[in-house]
């Protein structure tokens, strides 16, 4: 590999396929493109959720617990949550919330050298709930279970308490020496309410933002003034990396490792040993792959299609990560459109038996083989990964596994609903062919083509419908669609938020087809508000067959996450479920090879 391509031996070169890199770095970045990746490197959340163990790992927060009214921890002798006592104390309807205590790591500093304290945490959550100052709808969603609220910019209910913000008045005694590291939260009586608070909210430096944010100049401003814009472009975070503001721009992003980062390896050595990460922009995946093969970059920060796997065969310097996926690709039916968007064809989708027939026609194994080149797994009709053994309910998968039997059953059902067919074998509604458009992106046309073949076997025509750049506002929220593709992921960490968003709430939510199901709603509410962890597990299992039997969000597959990296300069790449090879575990394990030195 030519050294001329990499003058700095301590730099990890990362190729990223994007339209352009952002030039301004918002403290809470959008979920699009590279923005969340860079945000997670510059800033930290309170904790890191470990899907495998179900534990919250330390980040800014060192430890946490539920506490009683006097601030005493509700824990067992080994320090774990005492769920029985939690239910005994807070199960009483007179209690309107759960109290949570968080202890921060002592001595954390911001990248400008200022000390991070509980007041920074207070400020972050306080402004997240005050849309008048934040102008950030996402922050409102993250903190929806935090019992701290504003009305028209006025604090109407306090639910965050520190030494300087009412902890003693609320009955929580914080010692003088702990004033900078202890904070209390009041949250809704939902066991999962802490998850978005702990893991989604990136903590902001109060001393940077409070002096410049106002009603006129909001934190998330579409027209930032000079002071706000400067802070966007010169982020001050507590994460393991800092932005090189002089060298970064629309074509490259350069991050340097903080030598004083508070998290370390178990032996006290630095958490990360790479000194610099340089993101290089590519606007086309083929060009980026060529750069990787030629050694111009070390890793791609993008998943790649399984179609590219042959390019990397027999190359000893290329590591291919074929990680199990987490997102389930589903086909969503618009079964309850608003009145203005109803028509006779869409009325068919209101018939559960009609939807069942279409679900029967879907052959996941065939889609995985032809669309994913085998790099994926079938997904449960209950939309819970079988890898989550404590929560997955196989009873949700009640349809026949033999595909011939499925097609026979589907046609039997449809013969009783729409028996007439045209000369091409498609079923008719009156004199019109039954035909639906499936909204998708250009990259999903291949999938829709194979679905066309499968649905043709039961006499249903489907076509590709381009969903454009803002499909939610243009098509999905207004009910202006027949069917759409939608990736979903459910786990213990998110069901309290995601189940209502996908199956209960009407309006601007992920319940695109506007499902209304009272029995399912009741089960979701019961699951959300039980404080008995075992009962919560049982209810999650109960809900899965209910989801499956509606044939509303029908699973197509779970695709693997395929990504690639070079091994000649750096070794220690880690395969992480649902992530590309450029993940947090890789960054913490990478070390230079002899050639890299």
User: What is the per-residue pLDDT across 91-103, written as a single tens digit (0 to 9) for each?
Assistant: 888 888 999 999 9
Residue 238 lies in a domain: no
Instruction: Please check the confidence at residue 52 and state whether its pLDDT lies above 80.
Output: no
Instruction: Please check the confidence at residue 493 and state whether its pLDDT lies above 60.
Output: yes
Domain identity same for 508 and 529:
yes
290-304 pLDDT, tens digit per residue, is 999 999 999 999 899
Domain identity same for 472 and 499:
yes
Domain identity same for 511 and 581:
no
Residue 406's CATH number: 3.10.105.10
Q: CA gyration radius for the chain? A: 26
111 CB-near residues (< 8 Å, 6+ apart):
42, 235, 236, 237, 238, 242, 258
Q: Tell me the sheet residues that pair with 152.
A: none
Domain identity same for 150 and 15:
no
475 burial (CB, 10 Å; 0-12 / 13-18 / 19+) is buried
| 313: confidence class by pLDDT, cuts 50, 70, 90 | confident
CB atoms inside a 10 Å sphere around CB 501: 15
CA distance 576 to 242: 24
- For the chain, how many structural domains are there in total? 3
400-422 pLDDT, tens digit per residue, is 999 999 999 999 999 999 999 99
Q: 13 φ, ψ to 5°? A: -95, 125
Residue 287 lies in a domain: yes
127-168 pLDDT, tens digit per residue, is 999 999 999 988 998 999 999 999 999 999 999 999 999 999
Give the mean pLDDT of the chain.
93
Domain identity same for 149 and 294:
no
Q: What is the pLDDT of residue 596?
A: 60
Q: How remote is the C-alpha of 592 from its chain's centroid?
A: 31
Q: Tell me the sheet residues that pair with 428.
A: 433
CA distance 299 to 293: 10
Domain identity same for 313 and 180:
no
Domain identity same for 342 and 434:
yes
Instruction: Please check the confidence at residue 364 and state whether its pLDDT lies above 80.
Output: yes
- Given a contact cutoff of 8 angstroms between Cβ atoms, the answer to whether 118 and 162 are in contact is yes
Buried b (16+ CB within 10 A) or exposed e, 396-411: bbebeeebeebbebbb
Domain identity same for 442 and 525:
yes
Q: What is the pLDDT of residue 455?
A: 98
Q: Tell me the sheet residues that pair with 150.
A: 155
441-461 pLDDT, tens digit per residue, is 988 999 999 999 999 999 999
- Given a contact cutoff of 8 angstroms between Cβ atoms, the answer to whether 171 and 148 are in contact is no
Instruction: Please check the confidence at residue 524 and state whether its pLDDT lies above 50.
Output: yes
371-409 pLDDT, tens digit per residue, is 999 999 999 999 999 888 888 999 999 999 999 999 999
395 burial (CB, 10 Å; 0-12 / 13-18 / 19+) is middle
Domain that holds residue 470: 328-559
Instruction: Please check the confidence at residue 3 and state whether its pLDDT lies above 80.
Output: no
Domain identity same for 336 and 274:
no
Alpha helix stretches (DSSP H) within 35-161:
35-42, 83-90, 118-128, 131-134, 137-142
- Given a contact cutoff of 8 angstroms between Cβ atoms, the answer to whether 348 and 529 are in contact is no
Domain identity same for 438 and 395:
yes
295 CB-near residues (< 8 Å, 6+ apart):
1, 2, 5, 317, 566, 568
239-274 pLDDT, tens digit per residue, is 999 999 999 998 999 999 999 999 999 999 999 999
Residue 184's CATH number: 3.90.76.10
329-343 pLDDT, tens digit per residue, is 999 999 999 999 999
Q: What is the DSSP string of 79-108?
A: SSB-HHHHHHHH-STT---EEEEEEEPTT-
Cα-Cα-Cα-Cα torsion 251, 255, 256, 258, nearest 10 degrees, comes to: 170
Across the beta sheet with 553-559, the strand order is 376-377, 553-559, 328-333, 483-488, 435-440, 461-466
Instruction: Please check the confidence at residue 32 and state whether its pLDDT lies above 80.
Output: no
CA distance 366 to 373: 10
Q: What is the DSSP string of 210-279?
A: TTT--SSS-SS-SS--HHHHHHHHS---SSSEEE-TTT--SSEEEEEE-TT-S-B-TTSSBS----EEEE
- Given a contact cutoff of 8 angstroms between Cβ atoms, the answer to whether 301 and 21 are in contact is no
Residue 306's CATH number: 3.40.190.10
Domain identity same for 555 and 579:
no
Instruction: Please check the confidence at residue 62 and state whether its pLDDT lies above 60.
Output: yes
Q: Tell me the sheet residues that pair with 362.
A: none
Domain-terminating residue out of 179, 209, 239: 209
CA distance 67 to 86: 8
User: pTM score, two decimals?
Assistant: 0.86
Residue 161 lies in a domain: yes
Domain identity same for 538 and 458:
yes
**Across 433-439, average pLDDT:** 98
CA distance 307 to 360: 28
**Across 503-507, average pLDDT:** 93
Instruction: Please check the confidence at residue 1 and state whether its pLDDT lies above 70.
Output: no
CA distance 370 to 556: 12
Instruction: Please check the confidence at residue 4 and state whether its pLDDT lies above 70.
Output: no
């Amino acid at each position: 590999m030519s050294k001329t391509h990499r003058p700095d031996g301590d730099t990890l070169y990362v190729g990223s396929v994007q339209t352009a890199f952002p030039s301004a770095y918002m403290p809470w970045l959008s979920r699009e493109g590279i923005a969340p990746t860079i945000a997670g490197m510059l800033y930290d959340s309170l904790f890191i959720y470990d899907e495998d163990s179900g534990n919250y790992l330390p980040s800014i927060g060192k430890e946490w617990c539920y506490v009683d009214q006097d601030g005493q921890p509700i824990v067992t002798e080994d320090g774990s949550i005492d769920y029985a006592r939690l239910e005994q104390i807070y199960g009483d309807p007179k209690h309107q919330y759960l109290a949570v205590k968080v202890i921060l790591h002592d001595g954390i500093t911001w990248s400008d050298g200022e000390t991070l304290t509980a007041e920074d945490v207070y400020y972050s959550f306080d402004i997240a709930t005050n849309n008048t100052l934040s102008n950030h709808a996402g922050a409102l969603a993250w903190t929806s279970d935090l019992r701290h609220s504003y009305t028209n910019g006025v604090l109407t209910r306090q639910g965050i308490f520190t030494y300087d913000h009412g902890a003693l008045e609320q009955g929580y005694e914080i010692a003088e020496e702990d004033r900078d590291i202890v904070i209390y939260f009041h949250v809704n009586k939902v066991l999962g309410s802490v998850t978005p608070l702990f893991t989604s909210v990136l903590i902001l430096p109060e001393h940077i933002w409070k002096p410049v944010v106002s009603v006129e100049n909001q934190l998330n401003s579409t027209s930032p003034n000079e002071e706000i814009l400067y802070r966007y472009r010169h982020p001050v975070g507590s994460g393991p990396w800092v932005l090189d503001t002089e060298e970064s721009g629309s074509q490259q992003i350069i991050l340097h490792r903080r030598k004083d980062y508070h998290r370390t390896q178990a032996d006290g050595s630095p958490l990360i040993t790479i000194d610099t990460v340089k993101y290089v922009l590519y606007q086309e995946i083929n060009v980026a792959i060529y750069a990787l093969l030629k050694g111009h970059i070390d890793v791609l920060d993008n998943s790649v299609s399984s179609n590219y796997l042959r390019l990397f065969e027999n190359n000893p310097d290329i590591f291919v990560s074929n990680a199990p996926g987490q997102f389930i690709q589903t086909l969503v039916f618009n079964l309850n459109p608003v009145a203005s968007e109803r028509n006779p064809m869409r009325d068919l989708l209101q018939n559960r038996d009609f939807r069942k027939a279409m679900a029967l026609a879907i052959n996941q194994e065939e889609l995985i083989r032809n669309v994913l080149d085998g790099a994926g797994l079938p997904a449960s009709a209950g939309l819970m990964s079988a890898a989550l053994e404590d929560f997955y309910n196989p009873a949700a998968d009640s349809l026949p596994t033999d595909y011939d039997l499925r097609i026979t059953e589907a046609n039997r059902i449809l013969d009783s609903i729409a028996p007439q067919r045209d000369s091409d074998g498609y079923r008719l509604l009156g004199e019109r062919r039954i035909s639906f458009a499936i909204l998708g992106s250009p990259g999903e046309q291949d999938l829709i083509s194979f679905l066309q073949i499968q649905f043709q076997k039961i006499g249903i025509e489907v076509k590709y419908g381009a969903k454009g750049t803002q499909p939610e506002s243009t098509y999905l929220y207004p009910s202006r669609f027949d069917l759409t593709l939608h990736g979903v992921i459910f786990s213990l960490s998110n069901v309290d938020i995601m189940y209502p968003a996908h199956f209960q709430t009407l309006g601007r939510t992920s319940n695109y087809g506007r499902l209304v199901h009272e029995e399912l709603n009741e089960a979701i509410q019961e699951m959300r508000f039980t404080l008995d962890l075992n009962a919560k597990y049982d209810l999650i299992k109960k809900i899965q067959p209910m989801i499956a039997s509606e044939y509303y969000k029908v699973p197509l597959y779970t695709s693997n996450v395929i990504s690639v990296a070079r091994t000649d300069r750096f070794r220690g790449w880690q395969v992480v479920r649902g992530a590309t090879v450029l993940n947090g575990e890789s960054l913490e394990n990478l070390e230079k090879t002899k050639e890299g030195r």
